[in-house]
């Protein structure tokens, strides 16, 4: 019995990839994309020091769909400083609308000597 299961996943930042790069990676065998969105609020992304904004998130989702990626996930973080219940619910709503195959949700872990450790 031969089992030939393979998933080649690439973690991608919404602010640093484009359709050309994604197509090249797919040509090399990447068949799953994990998109590190983290939040759908500009102020939270800035507070996290993310290189991307909300516009780049929406653009990245459009690129994933236009390139024919059929297996992708979206990453979110909760318990961010200044994140309200309304913000969290909005991020969840927008995630559902984006329709990824998988969603990873991470609780912010604040550690000493990090950006959030000094708050």
Q: Which domains does the chain have, with CATH numbers?
A: 35-118 (3.30.750.200)
Q: How many residues does the chain have?
A: 119
DSSP string, 2-65: -------EEEE-TTT--HHHHHHHHHTT--EEEEEEE-S-HHHHHHHT-S--HHHHHHHHHHHH
Q: Which two tokens stand for residue 32?
A: 């799953």
Contact in structure between 39 and 80 (CB atoms under 8 Å): yes
**pLDDT at residue 76, as a whole number:** 97
* Residue range 74-99, pLDDT digits in tens: 999 998 988 999 999 999 999 999 99
Give the integer Cα–Cα distance in Å for 94 and 109: 23
* Residue range 7-64, pLDDT digits in tens: 999 999 999 889 999 999 999 999 999 999 999 999 999 988 888 999 999 999 999 9
Distance of CA 69 to the CA centre of its chain: 14
């Amino acid at each position: 019995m031969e089992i030939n299961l393979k998933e080649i996943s690439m973690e991608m930042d919404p602010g640093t990839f484009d359709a050309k790069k994604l197509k090249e990676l797919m040509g090399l065998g990447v068949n799953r994309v994990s998109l590190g969105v983290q939040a759908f609020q500009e102020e939270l992304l800035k507070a996290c020091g993310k290189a991307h904004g909300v516009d780049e998130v929406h653009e990245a989702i459009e690129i994933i769909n236009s390139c024919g990626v059929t297996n992708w996930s979206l990453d979110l973080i909760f318990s961010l400083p200044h994140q309200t219940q309304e913000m969290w619910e909005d991020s969840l709503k927008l995630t559902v609308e984006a329709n990824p195959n998988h969603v990873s949700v991470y609780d912010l872990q604040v550690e000493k000597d990090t950006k959030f450790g000094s708050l």
